[in-house]
Structures are given as C-alpha cells and as structure tokens.
A and B are shown apart, each in its own frame.
Chain A
C-alpha cells in the first residue's frame, strides 16, 4: 500500500460524496437539506477512519500524510505553500461559518416540526361507525371533491390547485408514511378539529387545516376518511 494514497483517496471520496449529494442528486430529484448532507458526510468520515486505521500500515497511510502536512515535517516547495494556505484559510473558514451561523438573518431557523402529535384521549380508539360500502365511499369521494380536493389534490397526493399557497404543503395521502401509518380515529381528529385543534405536542402548530366540524357532520367526516383511503390506495392502521 503506497503511503499517501489512502489519505488522498479518502479526501477524494469525501469530496465525491459531497458533490453527489449537493449537486448531482438535485438533477434527479429535490435537493437535500444540509442537515442530511452533513449526516451522510459524517458517516463517510467514519467509514474512512475505520477502514484506514484497521492495520498499522494503513493507519500510517491515512494519518501519516495528514500529520506530516500539518507539522510541516519534510515538506517543501508547492506543498509548503499549500500548507501555509491551509493554515491561514482554515481558521478563516471556521470564522466565516461561525459568523454566518450567528449573524442576523432574514431566514427563519430550521425547525423540527412534530408532524403526528398524539391525539387527545377522546379521539383514541374510535372506529368508523359506517360500513365500508361502495355507496359510502362514493359519497365520501364527492365530499372530498368539494372540501378537500383543492388542497390535497384529485390524486390524493397533496398536489391540489391551492397547495402551492401553503407551507408546509397539504399531506400526501399516497405516501406510505402518512395516513397508512395512522388509525382512522386519528384522521377523524385531524379533520374534525383542524390545525387549531392540534395538541400542545403539535408544536409549532403549523397547519392550515380548517376545523371541519363547523361545516361537516361526523358521518360526513367518516365517509371522507373512507374515500381518502380508497382513493390513495392505502389501508388504515388497525390492531386486528
């Protein structure tokens, strides 16, 4: 194993992962938030360190060049200038990052929103009192079209005509991580009480969901729930 190769390979791998996540992935899908990119870079560093320090020889191949570069031992010419540049630029970079993190900014801070807070006790364990018949589903679909479709969309994927106006966007029922993970009683609570009825746990209460109990009866809400599951191709969570 050649001495400096492992350190260089590790550096290249780290840079490649960063470039792939930050610049290549957005060409295929939505860009990743930096919190996730940092997480994956952290794992990459762990991988490089673990693999590079398995044996004495590989440890030297990984860390030796780094230590020699930092200590300036036995280096000269262009490498010496590069070392000087790193020693000057790195603290400046850290300072710049720190300033960027602390300076007043017009952007609100990143937040961890509780998407699925626990429902109040009176909504736990309720079951749909209406039979799941084609008629009820059809009626529910009609109600969905009238009340829910503008935001949650005709395909139940949260892509309604009005969805662009909301942050966070309306829920995508076709995503297996939304209504498929929840019992019908949970949906009943969210539809009936809306964003204003979120529990304390639902911090920071970012939901534009109307409080539909004002306009819809309980039976109508249960029918809409049936229609949502049928339309999105999902099944509610049950315990039996």
Chain B
C-alpha cells in the first residue's frame, strides 16, 4: 500500500509540475503576439493555439463567477448574523461566520483573477482598453477606492468576529452593512463598463466625469445590476449549499451530519429565495435590450442565440426540480411519519412542475429531419407550436415559481399544528389567493395569444408577475404569523437525510454555474462583431460568433474549472478550519457511527445530537 501511495504522490507532483510549467509557459505565447506595422499602434495581440478570445473568455468567466460568489455571500452572511442577534440563537452566528470563512478564502482568488483579466485585456486588446480607459477613467479611480474600502472592511469583519461579540456586536453588524454597501458598488461599477459595451451612451462634450457618468448610466446598466445582484445571492446560496452537501456526505460523526444538513438546508433556502424573483429581473433586462436595440433583441431571442434560451429553460427547470426535490426529501426524512400525508401533494406539484418545464423547453421551431418537417408542414408543430412563444413561457415560469413557493410553505408548516383562532380563515384565504393567482396567470397567458404584443408585454406579463409577487409577499408573512403560535406535533430530525440530498445540492450549484456561463456567453455574443455596439467594431481575427456547440464546450470547461477552483479554495479553508475551530473542531474523534440524529425544531450543532 505504501508503494502505491508513493506512486500516487509522484503522479500528483508530476501533475502539479506540469501545471506550473504551463502557467509559466503560457505568457511566453505572447511572444508570438501580432506585431503592429512600424509607426502604428498595436490593436490586438494573440496567443497561438488557444486564441486570445478564448483565454479572455475563460479568465473573465472565472473572475465573474468568483465575484458573484464573493459579492453574494456577504448579503446572507450578514442576514444570518442579524437573525442570530435578534433570536439569540448562536447557531446563526456560527453559520454566518462559516459563510464568511468561505468568503475570505475566495476573496483573494477573485482579486487575483481580476488582476490577470486586466493584464490580459491590456495586452491582448489594447485598442479597446485604450478606448474604455478614455471613457471610464474616473470610474476606474472610484473602483480602486471601493476595493480598498471593501478589503479593509472585510478584514475587520472577519478577524474581528470573535472580539466584537457582546456589547460590540452592533459595531460588527455595522461593518457587515458597510461590507455589503461597498460590495454592491463594487459590482455596479464594472457592470457599467460591460453594459456600456452592449448599449453605449457616448457624449462628445463635457468634462471627463460627465462623459463617464453618461456612459455609466446606459440603458441596460440598472437591469443588469438588479439581475446580477439577485443572481449573486442565488449563486452564493447554492454554492454554500453544495459545500454543505459535500461536507455532509463526508461527515465522520453525527455532529457534523447535523450541522451540515442544516447548513445545506439554509443554502438551498437562500438559493430558492433568490431564484423566485430572478426570472422577473431577467425579463426586465430582455425588455430593456429589445427597447434599446431591436436587432440585438432579435439576435438574442429570435435569432441564432435563441437556442441558448431553450438550454436556459432546461437548466432553470432542473434547478427548480432539484430545489423542490431537496425540500421534499426534507419533509420525508426530517419529519418522521410524514410520507403518507405529503406524498399526494408532492406528486401533484411534481407533475405541474414537469408539465410546465415541458412547455418551457418546447422550442418555437423544432429540430426535425426533412421527413418529420414535411409531416408537420414546417418546423412549427400545428398543436405544440403554440408553446414556443413568450406568452406560454411567461405563464409556465410563473406557475413554476408558485409551485416552488408552495413547496417551501409546505416544508415550513410540516410537523406543526396552527393554534391561532384565525388559523382556519387564514389558511382558507391563502388557498383562495393561490387559486386566484393560478387562474389569473393561466387566463392572461392564454389571452396573450389574442392581443397585440405590446399589450401582452406591458400589461399581461406585468400583471402575471405582480400577481405572483403579491402571493409571495402576502402568504409569507401570514404563514410566519401562523407559525409563531403553532404547536410542534412532530419534531424535526436533522442529520438523517439520505446521501442523494447532498448530491442534489451539488447538482443545483453546477446548474447555476452552467446557467451563468451560458447567459454570460449570450450577453456577450449579442454584441456580435462589435467591441462597443455600434461604436467600435471588432476587427480582430475573432470578429465572429463562435458556433453554439463550440461555445457550449467552453461553457462546460468554464464550469468544470470553476468547480475545481472552488473545491480547492474550500479545501484550503477547511484545513484552516480544522485547526482554528468551528463545527469541525470536534471532528478529531472521527466517530464512525454517524447515524444518530439531532431532534428539535432546529439542530443544535454542538450539543443537539442524541
């Protein structure tokens, strides 16, 4: 065995050596850079074999994914900390600290990739960077200042965690607030650079600051800001969930199982919490793009990029099913004896989800052989072709949101009995509200086929969204009130979820990462052969849109690389954690019997296992 282990070590070192050689040799590729003619400025440089665009694509995507995680996690880490303070439950404080631990370990890598991206952009696309620097130089300065503030605040927030307990907790919470404020601005400043490329506003007159401000406040800036803010929470939640899922699968004792089961639940909850409003933000963004430029909108939604939205439907669908599945597993396993009661409603919700997903994934023009197309009379099916248009897609996405929300409410109520006198009325009211919402969404969806597009977009789709939001915003506090006085009939047992629950959490995270790589490609490709749409043309050898299959391969590679990166970062973080403290402190005993669960309305990671 020792002999085999030695061999493995040799292979591992050899692999590491090759990676290092590659890392060092890669810049040498720049030696083959395109040289500008004498007297002219270099516009592009290339990297032989790999291609400058591919390298930028990979590095930018890694940076963006890391940044999404780093900017999303502080939001719910801070919220968890507030919950801990308000409820006096130390578990939330510990959880917030563990989230922040993941954040600190990812922060430097994010900055590192940002630096690499900047150097590569300056080196490989000097013409573009020169232009962007001219437009945005003032905001570069603002960004630097924000970065300094964010870094200092993060250091104080993380390293001051233990010393700022008790009377200084308020100061620590304020630091968390500042961290999120700086993080938000750190996100929206670079967003202005990227959205400017897609929907530029260029003014020739005015001061440096005035030009930068006009370029910043471009038509797609705020839609992207909101969409990314929510997406970052979703990404952060699901990645924390995946981290917990893996830790759960590797747990060596009951205490770890209990803790990571609960952490996985919180991660999934955060992911779902963000996922529910995300389609609305995406819809707004697409609407703004259409309004800004019809060509760009058609390229995205009706043209050659429209297939990406079918893939998007598939990924979002799996995410919805995965998140619901995790809730349902929670009901079945954490609440003993619940199977008989909840199987039927779960089956109904599953069928609705899958039917909706089927509609969402049905393309407008179907992929068909010549013979099949002849039999259909074209690539539009006479019956199922109606599923291909936006009216159908909006309807089913709203229904899926409602179903997922009901899954969560069902989970919340499971194992409890309402004691409030008005409980019956409230529950009936919620049922009626939900029923009306479903009817309104479906009726407007069908009616949408018979009205002008502008009526559907401006009134029907908006009404569908508002109705669903209204349900979310009324049923949630009402259920919260009901649960406040509810009696627990069946204690929730933590740490007894089957292994597949951990795998589902990992699957959800992979789906979100794939989604971000997919839609990142869509957003970037919608500019087609322009660096800055309609202003600066791409004149490099890469001024063409890569084929969808090729793009899909790079997206998969990016997803794989990011998973590797995150796994490495978390592994390093957990090494520190084992020494410093946290839920893994007591894992040294490595108890093999990991089956004994924790019983209670919530787990007590340190003492709760029976």
Contacts and interface: CB of A to CB of B under 8 A. Distances in A.
Contacts of B389: 176-177, 181
B579 interface: no
Nearest to A180: B453
B4 interface: no
B389 to A, nearest CB: 5
A185 B294 CA distance: 10
A46 B325 CA distance: 11
Nearest to B294: A124
Contacts of A53: 500
Contacts of B299: 117-118, 201
Contact of A108 (B325, B329, B370, B382): B370
Contact of A115 (B333, B365, B368, B374): B365
Nearest to B361: A39
Interface string A18-55: 00000001001111111110011001101100110111
A59 B294 CA distance: 50
A56 B339 CA distance: 10
A39 B329 CA distance: 25
Interface in A185-209: 185-186, 201, 203
Most buried by B among A29, A32, A118: A118
A139 to B, nearest CB: 23
A64 to B, nearest CB: 15
A59 B499 CA distance: 12
Contacts of A237: 452-454
Contact of B452 (A30, A50, A110, A180): A180
A136 interface: no
- Tell me whether chain B's interface is mostly helix, strand or loop, or mixed: helix
A115 B379 contact: yes
Contacts of A167: 370, 373-374
B455 to A, nearest CB: 8
Given A46-B354, A115-B302, A183-B294, A177 B364 contact: yes
A114 interface: yes
A238 B302 contact: no
Interface stretch (B113-121, B257-265, B343-351): B343-351
A68 interface: no
B33 to A, nearest CB: 29
Nearest to B299: A118
Contacts of A115: 302, 364-365, 379
Contact of A111 (B343, B367, B449): B367
Give chain B's interface residue range (CB within 8 Å of chain A): 35 or more
Interface stretch (B50-58, B243-251, B303-311): B303-311
Given A50-B321, A56-B498, A201-B303, A36 B366 contact: yes
B85 interface: no
A28 B449 CA distance: 22
A116 interface: yes
B568 to A, nearest CB: 31
B141 interface: no
A56 B321 CA distance: 19
A203 B415 CA distance: 57
A51 B350 contact: yes
B379 A113 contact: yes
B465 interface: no
A138 to B, nearest CB: 22
Contacts of B381: 29-30, 32-33, 36
A71 interface: no
B278 interface: no
A43 B358 CA distance: 7
B549 to A, nearest CB: 11
B378 interface: yes
Nearest to B375: A31
Nearest to A112: B367
B383 A176 contact: no
A203 B354 contact: no
Contacts of B380: 172, 175, 177
A73 interface: no
A240 interface: yes
Contacts, number: 174
Contacts of B304: 114, 117, 201, 203
Given A35-B367, A168-B373, A125 B453 contact: no
B385 A177 contact: yes
Nearest to B342: A54
Nearest to B324: A50
B372 A39 contact: no
A51 B369 contact: no
A143 B293 CA distance: 31
B362 interface: yes
Contacts of B296: 118
Interface string B315-343: 00010010001001100110000010001
A28 B385 CA distance: 15
A219 B451 CA distance: 27
A160 interface: no
Given A35-B367, A175-B385, A237-B453, A112 B307 contact: yes
A169 interface: yes
Contacts of A120: 295
B376 interface: yes
B298 A117 contact: yes
A238 B367 contact: no
Contacts of B332: 54-55
A109 B369 contact: yes
A33 B366 contact: yes
B382 A107 contact: no
B371 interface: yes
B386 interface: yes
A33 B295 contact: no
Contacts of A181: 302, 389-390, 453
A168 B346 contact: no
B328 A235 contact: no
B384 interface: yes
Interface in A114-131: 114-121, 124-125
Contacts of A39: 358, 361-362
B354 A32 contact: no
A83 B347 CA distance: 31
B377 interface: yes
Closest 6 CB pairs of A and B: A235-B452, A116-B302, A33-B368, A237-B453, A33-B372, A118-B298
Interface of A: 25, 28-36, 39-40, 43-44, 46-47, 50-51, 53-57, 59, 107-121, 124-125, 158, 167-169, 172, 175-177, 180-181, 183, 185-186, 201, 203, 234-240
Given A54-B346, A107-B370, A238-B452, 5 more contacts: A32-B384, A50-B328, A50-B350, A167-B374, A235-B451
Interface of B: 291, 293-296, 298-299, 302-304, 306-307, 318, 321, 325, 328-329, 332-333, 339, 343, 346-347, 350-351, 354, 357-358, 361-362, 364-386, 388-391, 449-454, 498, 500, 534
27 contacts: A25-B383, A30-B376, A30-B383, A32-B366, A32-B384, A34-B372, A46-B321, A50-B328, A50-B350, A51-B350, A54-B339, A55-B333, A112-B307, A114-B302, A114-B303, A115-B379, A118-B302, A118-B303, A119-B298, A175-B385, A180-B452, A181-B302, A201-B299, A235-B453, A237-B452, A237-B454, A239-B291
